[in-house]
Amino acid sequence: MKKKIISCLLAAMTAAALAGCGSGNTSSGSSTASSAGAESASSGSSAESSSSSTSAESASSAASSSAETGDVPEGLEDGVLTVGFDAEYPPYGYMGEDGEYTGFDLELAQAVCDLEGWELEKKPIAWDSKDMELESGSIDCIWNGFTMTGRESEYTFSVPYVDNSQVIVVSESSGIETFEDLAGKTVGVQAASAALEVLQDEEGQKALADTFASLNEFADYNTAFTELQAGALDALAIDIGVAKYQLESRGEGFKMLDETLNSEEYAIAFKLGNESLRDAIDEDLQTLTDDGTVQELAEKYGIADMLILGAE
């Protein structure tokens, strides 16, 4: 009997031991499977990260490739068009009553940027430093009633968009009616301007300028007009568009002589050789001409009769 009881107890202990071993193997298998799953997830996350990095590099490479192939105009890799302009040259560029820079050229530049998806940076410059600003890359173009006539070899120009003339403005009470009456008079002009160039050019109007008592240069035409109004100047050599704006805004008291010093055309000046930016803006100017934007702006600023651009 005792042997039978002992045999039963031994069988029970053996069964319990076997059950314990089975439980331990299941736990180990579960732990191994969990570890394998974590490693798999980690591997997947690493693969996704690698894939994202590769995509970003591909996008960057594509952008660089686009710029290199000329899809992005020279100087516009950052998406910003920096326009250099004379801040006291109405109606093309000046500070409005709201303290913001505006004018025909600046609004037209904004319209171009809207078409291209560029940001416009308006950068006032000293007019006699315009070449340095352009050459250094500080500005992308000179867009401010800039004469292309006689300067074609110095810059890459857009299509001409305004027909301009150089005129003489005097006080209505001055008694000056013709160029001959300017002999012995003090005449003002903006420094580094087309009017100054024509008055210094042997083939232009230098012979006329030699009859003046003096030819005084000013940084801007607002200052020059103030001097004319005060009587410190007898006459002012100036672009006809600017003259019309000044006469209209200042009211009575001034007039333009019937004779003109020179006829010329305005265009946008780019650094010599920058044809990619020139071509892009030329195309936009035609689009804005065709849809009536250029005409609308010209009428707003009183230069509609001077436009050269025509709809296709």
Per-residue pLDDT tens digits for 127-177: 999 999 999 999 999 999 999 988 999 999 999 999 999 999 999 999 999
Rounded Cα distance, 217 and 111, in Å: 34
Is residue 59's pLDDT more than 50?
Answer: no
Q: What is the pLDDT of residues 62-118, one digit of tens each?
A: 333 333 445 799 999 999 999 999 999 999 999 999 999 999 999 999 999 999 999
Q: How far are the Cα atoms of 74, 225, 267 from residue 78, in angstroms, in the given order?
A: 10, 40, 24
Q: How far is CA 199 from the centre of its chain?
A: 32
Say if CB 186 and CB 218 are below 8 A apart. no
Q: Which residues contact 94 (CB under 8 A, 6 or more apart)?
A: 87, 88, 101, 102, 103
| Domains of the chain with CATH codes | 80-161+267-306 (3.40.190.10), 166-265 (3.40.190.10)
Its pTM stands at 0.72
H or E segment to which residue 145 belongs: none
**Tell me, what's the pLDDT at 30?**
38
Instruction: Give the pLDDT confidence of 277-309 residue by residue, as tens digits.
Output: 999 999 999 999 999 999 999 999 999 999 998
pLDDT at 23 over 70: no
What pLDDT digit, counting tens, does each position of 174-226 carry? 999 999 999 999 999 999 999 999 999 999 999 999 999 999 999 999 999 99
